[in-house]
Chain A
Amino acid sequence: GESVGLHLPTLSVQEGDNSIINCAYSNSASDYFIWYKQESGKGPQFIIDIRSNMDKRQGQRVTVLLNKTVKHLSLQIAATQPGDSAVYFCAAPGGSQGNLIFGKGTKLSVKP
């Protein structure tokens, strides 16, 4: 089955810098990946997704990169702002009925 994991449980960046959050997955057949943002006390919020036929996808200030060779994906946040402080999860389908497998999350802290 699939497993996903983040490389670092915490990340601290200076406001205005770029942030990079990394995630590894185990199943080379995984064809879809999702990034979520969870602010304290709230439910996870969908940020961006990417299919395995793409290497890169861009959103507003966020970019997801997928490296299928090493089974690695990353979330890049440009010009990180205090409002970006949250826990970020990667997820991929891995269970029955298309259930998602979630990584443990990386807590991003933005220093003013």
Chain B
Amino acid sequence: SQTIHQWPATLVQPVGSPLSLECTVEGTSNPNLYWYRQAAGRGLQLLFYSVGIGQISSEVPQNLSASRPQDRQFILSSKKLLLSDSGFYLCASRGDTGTDTQYFGPGTRLTVL
């Protein structure tokens, strides 16, 4: 079964600072990878997805970017954080299960002050 790792678990950053969140996946190869953001008490908003190394699709225009330097590594970045970037960031993987089921990491709680 797949295991998704995310770090850091929590992060407090000042407005205007850069951001790098990392996600790595074990137990599968060539997965589809996803970044979601979840505001407090809200649903999941898909930010980016990737079907392979170097392939990134953005779902919503925003202050963030994503990269996939390796098959099982997915990075979420920003050059200058905004207050509105605060939230709970989740990485998910859809691997070779033959279904569309996505498995989620533990999440990163980002607070921008």
Contacts and interface: CB of A to CB of B under 8 A. Distances in A.
Interface in A77-112: 89, 91, 93, 95-100, 102-105
B43 A32 contact: no
| Interface of B, helix, strand, loop or mixed by DSSP | strand
A97 B51 contact: yes
Contacts, number: 49
Interface stretch (A15-23, A44-52, A58-66): A44-52
B83 interface: no
A93 B90 CA distance: 18
Contacts of B4: 43
Nearest to A42: B106
Interface of B: 4, 6, 32, 34, 42-44, 46, 49, 51, 57, 59, 90, 94, 99-107, 109
